[in-house]
Structure 1
Amino acid sequence: MSTVTESVDVHVPLHTAYNQWTQFESFPNFMGGVESVTQIDATHNHWVVNVAGARREFDTEITEQHPDERVAWKSTSGDTRHAGVVTFHRLGDTDTRVTIQLDWEPEGLVENVGDAVGADGRQVKKDAKAFKEFIEQRGLETGGWRGNVDTPGARPDTRR
């Protein structure tokens, strides 16, 4: 299992950074290799990615979500095994630290070589910087979901 952790400070309020991160379908705007993310329901998404010529599709489930604090997920199907968490830390009224941690199981020669030379870590760093640019240029989130999810398979709190 490989792990990457990256933090970026964004010049927007905590709720703005958090709300934008919950808009999964906007991820192709700032994540390299992500072709599309389709939100199936409040806790499930379908991803299509193309990294180094390898096109993959997989599903994810939100396993924990607490407004203005964290979003955690894991893959549930497809040929990509991974999990992650993004946490949000208030630095001031208009500044937030976003920390991304990803755990995954590289498969095949290309993914194992990429992992060995740190390509995945560089991509996460690049994506974090792109998220910063995306949200700071907009100044406002494109939407937001403020529900809570506490355990895998639990029914989410859909109050907004």
Structure 2
Amino acid sequence: MATIEHRAVLTAPPERVFALLSRVEDFADYSDLIRSIERLDADHYCWNVHAVGMDWSFTVVVTESRAPEVLVWKSVKGVRNSGRYELTAVPEGTEVVLTLEYEVKGRLLEKAVRKATQPLVNKVSQQILDRVAERLGS
């Protein structure tokens, strides 16, 4: 699996940052590439993403939610991925560390999108952090 990590310091307390990040269905507002996120139950979400000219769908389950410090998920259907937000109080507000792992299966598909995938996932994860910061007024 490929791994991407982003760090950002947001000028808001961890509780406010966590409150936004834990509203997974709102992530569709945070990235141009996320078409929709449907909440299936308390911990499962179906994501629909349009990227590199293709539609991607996957279902994730939140496996750990410990406010205001940690939010962890993994896919259970579709594109294989997992991620973790770790929030730490710092003098400026909250340091957010996002670690995201993903895998595109299928030799032809993987070869076709490998060059675009990492920059694309980087873009989406950075957009999410940037737009959460905007919502917080950071």
Settle same-fold status: TM greater than 0.5: yes
Q: Which amino acid aligns with 2:75?
A: S
Match of 1:149 in 2: none
Q: Distance in 2 between matches of 1:115 and 1:57?
A: 15
The structure with the largest strand share of the pair is 2
Q: Distance in 2 between matches of 1:114 and 1:31?
A: 17
Q: Distance in 2 between matches of 1:98 and 1:124?
A: 12
Identical positions, percent: 20
Q: Report whether the alignment pairs 1:17 with 2:39.
A: no
Alignment counterpart, residue 106 of structure 1, candidates 104, 110, 115: 104
Shift of 1:97: 1.1
Alpha carbon RMSD of aligned pairs, Å?
1.8
Match of 2:84 in 1: 85
Match of 1:95 in 2: 93
Q: Distance in 2 between matches of 1:70 and 1:37?
A: 21
- Aligned residue pairs total 134
Q: Is the 8 A contact 2:70 2:84 kept in 1?
A: yes
Report matched runs for 1:26-105 at 5 Å: 26-78=26-78, 80-92=79-91, 95-105=93-103
Q: Which amino acid aligns with 2:84?
A: V
Label 1:83 to 1:54 Cα distance change in 2 as closer, same or farther (>3 A).
same
Q: Which amino acid aligns with 2:114?
A: N
Q: Which amino acid aligns with 2:129?
A: A
Shift of 1:115: 4.0
Shift of 1:48: 0.8
Q: Report whether the alignment pairs 1:136 with 2:137.
A: yes
Which segments of 5 or more consecutive residues in structure 2 lack a partner in the other structure? none
Label 1:130 to 1:46 Cα distance change in 2 as closer, same or farther (>3 A).
same
Shift of 1:124: 2.3
Q: Distance in 1 between matches of 2:12 and 2:20?
A: 11
Q: Which amino acid aligns with 2:80?
A: R
Q: Which amino acid aligns with 1:6?
A: H
Q: Which amino acid aligns with 1:12?
A: A
The structure with the largest helix share of the pair is 2
